[in-house]
Structure 1
Amino acid sequence: MKDRDQWNSKVGFLLAAIGSAVGLGNIWRFPYVAATNGGGAFLLPYFFAIITAGIPILILEYTMGKTFRGGAPVTWARMNRRFEWLGWFQVMIAFIIAVYYFAIVVWVVSYIGFSFTQAWGADPSSFFVEYLGLTDSALNLGGIQTSLIIPFVIIWAIAAFIMYKGVSKGIEKACKICLPILFVLMLVLVIRGVTLPGAVDGLEYMFKPDWNALKDPSVWVAAYGQIFFSLSIAFAIMLAYSSYLPKKTDVVNSAFITATANHGFELFAGIGVFSIMGYMAMMQGVPVSEVAGAGIGLAFMTFPTAISALPALNALFGICFFGALFTAGITSLISILQAVVSGFHDKFEMSHKKAVTVVMVPAFLLSFLFITGAGMNILDIVDAFINNIGIASAGVIEVILVTRFFNPEKLRQEANEFSNFSIGRWWVFSLRIVTTVVLGIMLFLNTKDYLYNGYGEYASADVNVFGWGTILFVIVIADALTTMKGKDGYRDLDKIAYKEVN
């Protein structure tokens, strides 16, 4: 096989890994999850989940990628030929996420422009619905929305430019530019937020502990779900990124740095978001709980209302907020795409540019679904199923295969070989027992809920086509790619040539 690209430095890898982990969910998902699952008390199961699942799986995936020198399918195949299917399952999950992630970044770009004049007016919710041309059903496409075409092309052009440049010259450089910008923009938001009247009420809503919540198993499940959602684990990204590491990289330290930076950013973003929610609640004379929201509603409906209500510098604040979403979205998007690209590059020995083309063309075509009038409905359903069923399944299978059908002690020794501090047998215990049990429970509860109750208020046809249909699509394509013949030796590490960087 041709020499694989590598990161120019450990710092470059860490910035890329942090850029992947620090995505849109850090800004709009974590604060709400914490606030509605015990507030300050939620931090206890949250940090427990980091120690028992987040960091152990990061160490696992960093070690696997660095040791077996391939994207997810090839890494799993080199561990055991029968494991290759899981790699393609994870890659296809990443592919689906990349397709709809484009749409969100497209909306963000538009809202950067809208921020200059607060074009959303007095009713941001209605404006957002009209802007998307939102239909009443995921199956009622309503045609492509022409207002979305220009930002759609812009985002595709940016993503393609970065991806064709490769790992070191494209992704690494992009993250070195975007991460500092993201931090500065978020710093502006936090400083402005905590200086607003009513900010204390918002922070109290987020951090006031409700210790009784810890008795609820769903709170603990939510903590583990947030960790998987946030750290980009179990769906091929970190396996791919770590496969470009030099042999002597300290993966244990790298995992702790990545997790600490990511979760520190989540808490930091939460302070900014809920400070502003507190101000907004005070202005409207209602409790914070009535204005607080999560996900798309927070970003495109609630926050524009808050921006318009600010006493000064509204445009600047809007540009900072949506600029932060844009930079976080881009670094996550390119990481998701690279997870897919590496799978094709490594198994079929394609050139990097050919692999990018093989991935980007079908992704481009499928992403048109998300700029139709049904785009947000489709996105909502697909996102719920791919995260709560797809990633949870991949995580459960991953830890079971490693701890039950492979010798995890070998991986522990490999992780410790070049690390400044060693991981003990607690690492294997966490993966084999704690992570397996909690993820198994989470997967069971999610699957049971969707089977019995459907999802949201969507019709069963919508859920069957775009929810269960997406899971079926991922499984079928993963199986087809597994059975395809790869280049000779792609499973054999000894036959792989790669550049050694000291």
Structure 2
Amino acid sequence: MHMQEQFSNRWGIVLASLGMAIGAGNLWRFPRLAGQYGGSFLILWIVFLLIWSIPLLMAEFSIGKKYKLGVIGSYGKIGGKGMTWGGFFITLCTLGIAFYYAIVTGWALQYLGLSTKNLWAFIGGGNTLADELAADPTYLDQYWNSIANNNPWTIVLYIIAVIVGIFVLTKGIQNGLEKANKILIPTLFILLLVITVMALNMENGYKGLEYMFLIDIRHFSNPTIWIEALSQSAWSTGAGWGLIMTISSYSRKSEDVVLNTFIGGFGNNTASLMAGMAILPAVFALAASESEAISYLQSGNQALTFTIIPKLFATVSGGAVLSFIFFFAFFLAAFSSLLPMLELFISNLRDMGITRTSAAIRAAAFCIVFGFPSAYSLNFFNNQDWVWGIGLIVSGLLIIVAVLRYGVSRFKRDYIDSDSDFNVPSKYFAIALIFNVFFGAILIYWWMSQGYSQNPWFNDSGSWNVFDVYSNASIVTQWAMVIIAGILLNKYLYNTFVKNKS
């Protein structure tokens, strides 16, 4: 067995779990969704944490801890010979996200550079971002458009982020991932706390807090908010990614499955709420009017973090400091989540008998090559986010199916309760998993039936609309390619990653 390494103590795996969960989705995606739907979104998001994410994370954590293998091997062990392809899908889904997520890390570095330049100008009396905006109100929009499409520096920076991440991981678990998270995660929480306090102390900042927790029941009839809440919970906590399965494969025998899962899940949601409590109050405090603030938030613009926030921070005294703190936190969050994605790839390669260094180099090469299209084109990035973000629900369903095949009560007794001092009711675990099978399938159908592309299946000429960014045809085609490949390779996958592994 190659996975002899372990985290040195409970805090090592807790920080790794938080590093995996707390990422750009907390500072980039969550505030946008909370801004669109307010308290209605928060309710569903918390419900899905308890119903979807926590049970899935408990299952993943216990499976990884039990088998000490990569995702394909661990899933093959619990799912059986005929289901090994499911681990292949989970792995490819997460790698699909990792390839474009590396670009988000590059964007974070771009904006950290911009905010650093602005802070330096503010201190030295030079030309600040506020001066640039005064001369050209579209400056930030142009800046975002320039870095989001075929920008050489974005390409260079995401490659650097991948290389640095791989360098950390070549040091191993204790000397690499664990030591990095001991610096990244506490620093991230401190920065989030600082920016939250500063935002809430701004004039009218409290209005953003009121808006964030305001419940509008009309939103509940919109299928988008349901799928967004579920995908955000799955995305942000890491449920269904296979990442916690990878991390727990390095856990000590005495690690408490349930306690670690709850710490990770609620720690992640706490970070998301802090990010929302920083950004939404800042929007209300710095917008010209309350209606303008609401308009900003309800636009649902994915560039909210990159265009609105720097603009707002540039308008107040000390905003240069606030902007620097925010984008430093954003980079730390993005980088801390990129590490376990790369480790997932490395752990699967190591199951093939490849050394850690060699596996790390190959993981870097794959991430750089397959991340390039998303760095080159924002449309390609959006398509991959669309396809594999929803694909996490399929990944979660595959994990649930494996547990159900084993037997829910038997699984909880053998995999979870035997290693947990803190237990949850068996009925809660069973009902949640069974409910999720039906609910996940219904949500995917509901989502696709809405037709978020003008031509969800076929284009105007009657051809399969696979190249449309948001088409159902694109989603189904890419999922089908991975599933078919996994099924065709199932025997090889089982023999390579599962058979004779202990």
**Shorter-normalised TM-score: what interval?**
0.7 to 0.9
Query: Which deviations, in whole Å up to 9, do the C-alpha atoms of 1:339-372 show, x marking residues without a partner?
Result: 22212212x1222222222322122112222332
Q: 1:429 to 1:2 in 2, by over 3 A?
A: closer
Shift, 1:438, TM fit: 1.8
Task: Give the alignment partner of residue 370 of structure 2, picking from 356, 366, 369.
Answer: 366
Correspondent of 2:331 among 326, 329, 333: 326
Q: Tell me, what secondary structure is at the counterpart of 1:309?
A: coil
| Mapped contact 1:189–1:321 kept (Cα < 8 A) | yes
Question: Percent identity of the aligned residues?
Answer: 23
Q: What's the secondary structure of 2:7's corresponding residue?
A: coil
Q: In the alignment, what sits opposite 1:127?
A: 143
Correspondences of 1:71-150 after superposition (within 5 Å) = 71-79=70-78, 80-115=80-115, 116-117=117-118, 118=128, 121=133, 122-123=137-138, 124-132=140-148, 134=149, 144-150=150-156
User: How far 1:267 sits from its partner (Å)?
Assistant: 1.1
Q: Which residue of 2 aligns with 1:195?
A: 201
* Matched residue, 1:48: 47
Deviation at 1:99, TM superposition (A): 1.0
Match of 1:475 among 460, 480, 483: 483
Task: Please tell me the residue identity of whatever aligns with 2:275.
Answer: A
Task: Decide whether the 8 Å contact of 2:44 with 2:229 is kept in 1.
Answer: yes
Structure 1 CA distance, aligned partners of 2:409 and 2:451?
A: 37
Matched, 1:166 2:169: no
Q: Distance in 2 between matches of 1:466 and 1:163?
A: 34
- Structure 2 Cα separation of the partners of residues 481 and 13 of structure 1: 33
Equivalent AA in structure 2 for residue 43 of structure 1: L
Distance (Å, rounded) in 2 between the aligned partners of 1:56 and 1:484: 30
Contact map agreement 2:45 2:230 (CA 8 A) in 1 = yes
The CA deviation at 1:315 is: 2.3
Where do 5+ consecutive residues of structure 2 fail to align? 119-127
In 1: Cα distance, 2:331 partner to 2:314 partner: 20
**Where does residue 393 of structure 2 map in the other structure?**
392
Q: Which amino acid aligns with 2:283?
A: M
Tell me, yes or no, if structure 1 residue 154 matches structure 2 residue 170.
no
2: CA distance between counterparts of 1:152 and 1:41?
35
State the distance in 1 between where 2:338 and 2:432 align: 28
1:125-171 per-residue CA deviation (whole Å, 9 max, x = no partner) reads 12211344x4xxxxxxxxx5333344234213211211212222211
Q: Flag structure 1 segments of 5+ consecutive residues without an equivalent.
A: 135-143, 497-502
Instruction: Confirm or deny: 8 A CA contact 2:52 2:433 kept in the other structure.
Output: no
Cα deviation, residue 306, structure 1:
0.8
Q: Could you report, residue by residue, the CA deviation over 1:195-253 in whole angstroms, capped at 9, with x for unpaired residues?
A: 11221222222111224544656544433222111111112111111111122211011
Name the SS for the 1:36 alignment partner: helix
Q: Which residue of structure 1 lines up, in the alignment, with residue 426 of structure 2?
A: 425
Which residue does the alignment assign to 2:24? 24
- Residues in 1 aligned to 2:151 and 2:18: alpha-carbon distance in whole angstroms: 34
Stretch deviating more after TM superposition (203-212 or 89-98): 203-212
Determine the structure 1 residue equivalent to 2:499: 491
Higher alpha-carbon deviation: 76-85 or 414-423:
414-423
Query: Is the Cα contact below 8 Å between 2:224 and 2:447 reproduced in 1?
Result: no
Choose which of 339, 346, 353 in structure 2 pairs with 1:349.
353
Report which stretch shifted further, 268-277 or 442-451.
Answer: 442-451
Q: Choose 256-265 or 424-433, whichever is displaced more.
A: 424-433
Q: Judge conservation of contact 1:221–1:438 (CA < 8 Å) in 2.
A: no
Counterpart in 2 of 1:383?
385
Where does 1:9-20 land on structure 2 (aligned, <5 Å)? Answer: 9-20=9-20
C-alpha separation in 1, matches of 2:452 and 2:215: 33
The superposition leaves residues 386-433 of structure 1 with CA deviations (integer Å, 9 ceiling, x where unpaired) of 111x21111122212321x21222321131123222222224423432
TM-score w.r.t. the length of structure 1 is: 0.87
Judged with a 3 Å threshold, the aligned counterparts in structure 2 of structure 1 residues 3 and 159 are, in CA distance, closer, same or farther, namely closer
Tell me which amino acid in the other structure corresponds to 1:66: K
Which 10-residue stretch deviates more, 219-228 or 163-172? 219-228
Output the CA distance in 2 between the equivalents of 1:477 and 1:86: 11
Q: Supply the distance in 2 between the matched residues of 1:263 and 1:318 (Cα, whole angstroms).
A: 23
**Contact 1:88–1:343 at 8 Å: present in 2 too?**
no
Letter in 2 for 1:330: F
Which residue pairs with 1:138 in the alignment?
Answer: none
Q: What CA distance in whole angstroms lies between the structure 2 residues aligned with 1:326 and 1:452?
A: 32
1:78 counterpart letter in structure 2: K
Structure 1 residues 319 and 447 mapped into 2: Cα distance closer, same or farther (>3 Å)? same
Distance 1:323 1:476, change over 3 A: farther
CA contact (8 A) 2:58 2:261 kept: yes
Return the alpha-carbon distance in structure 2 between the equivalents of residues 32 and 147 of structure 1: 26
Q: Say if 2:163 and 2:364, in contact at 8 Å, map to a contact too.
A: no
Match of 2:125 in 1: none
**Per-residue deviation, 1:486:** 6.8
Structure 2 partner of 1:313: 318
- Corresponding letter in the other structure for 1:410: R
Contact 1:18 1:262 in 2 (8 A): yes
Q: What amino acid does structure 1 have at the position aligned with 2:107?
A: W
The CA distance in 1 between the partners of 2:144 and 2:35, in whole Å, is 25
- TM (norm. structure 2) is 0.87
**Which one of the candidate residues 239, 242, 245 is aligned to 1:236?**
242
Match of 1:303 among 309, 313, 335: 309
Q: How does 1:50-65 map to 2 (within 5 A)?
A: 50-65=49-64
Residues 31 and 6 of structure 1: CA distance in aligned 2, closer, same or farther (over 3 Å): same
Instruction: Tell whether the 8 Å contact from 2:17 to 2:244 is kept in structure 1 after alignment.
Output: yes
2:122 alignment partner in structure 1 = none
Counterpart-to-counterpart distance in 2, 1:206 and 1:168 = 39
Question: What CA distance in whole angstroms lies between the structure 1 residues aligned with 2:411 and 2:254?
Answer: 14
**CA distance, structure 1, for counterparts of residue 393 and residue 53 of structure 2:** 13
Offset at residue 186 of structure 1 (A): 1.1
SS at match of 2:425: coil
Q: Shift of residue 54 of structure 1?
A: 1.5
